[in-house]
């Protein structure tokens, strides 16, 4: 799955010009990919000057829940260590 890093996007529109599926639009000055239209052919990633389009692996809800639980546990452990 491809996503736009909003912190890197310049809003230049090059990705839009090169997308064969009209899957990209500019929202508040930054590119946005409509995942329901994206193939993904990766042409947008190739033309993006700052490299703002990145490939991300989809994460399942179970993986996300496990990650949140692990981070919560680590945060609790750190807080315990800091307490006198
Ligand atoms: S080509 Fe890259 S920098 Fe330009 S609008 Fe698209 S994502 Fe943003
Ligand atoms: S991967 Fe291809 S279809 Fe998807 S947004 Fe980029 S250019 Fe368009």
Q: Give the phi and the psi of residue 55 in degrees, each rounded to 5.
A: -95, 130
Residues with CB under 6 A from ligand 2: 2, 18-19, 21, 23-24, 33, 38-44
pLDDT at 18 over 90: yes
What is the pLDDT, as a whole number, of residue 59? 85
Quick one: pLDDT band at residue 15, thresholds 50, 70, 90? very high
CA-39 nearest atom, ligand 2: 3
* 68 CA to centre of ligand 2 in angstroms: 31
For residue range 27-75, list pLDDT tens digits in order. Answer: 999 999 999 999 999 999 999 999 999 999 888 999 999 999 999 999 9
Report how far residue 56's alpha carbon sits from residue 69's, in angstroms, rounded to the nearest whole number: 22
Q: In testing the pocket of ligand 1, which one of 25, 46, 50, 55 has its CB within 8 Å of the most ligand atoms? A: 50
pLDDT at 83 over 90: no
* 73 CA to centre of ligand 2 in angstroms: 39
Q: Which residues contact 66 (CB under 8 A, 6 or more apart)?
A: none
Domains annotated for the chain, with CATH where assigned, are 2-59 (3.30.70.20)
What is the pLDDT, as a whole number, of residue 84? 80
pLDDT at 21 over 90: yes
What is the pLDDT, as a whole number, of residue 70? 97
């Amino acid at each position: 799955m491809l996503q736009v890093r909003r912190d890197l996007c310049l809003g230049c529109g090059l990705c839009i010009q090169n997308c064969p599926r009209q899957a990209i639009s500019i929202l508040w000055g930054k590119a946005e990919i409509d995942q329901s239209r994206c193939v993904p052919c990766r042409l947008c990633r190739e033309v993006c000057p700052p490299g703002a389009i990145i490939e991300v692996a989809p994460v399942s809800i179970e993986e996300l829940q496990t990650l949140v639980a692990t981070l919560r546990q680590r945060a609790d452990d750190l807080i315990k260590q800091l307490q006198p």
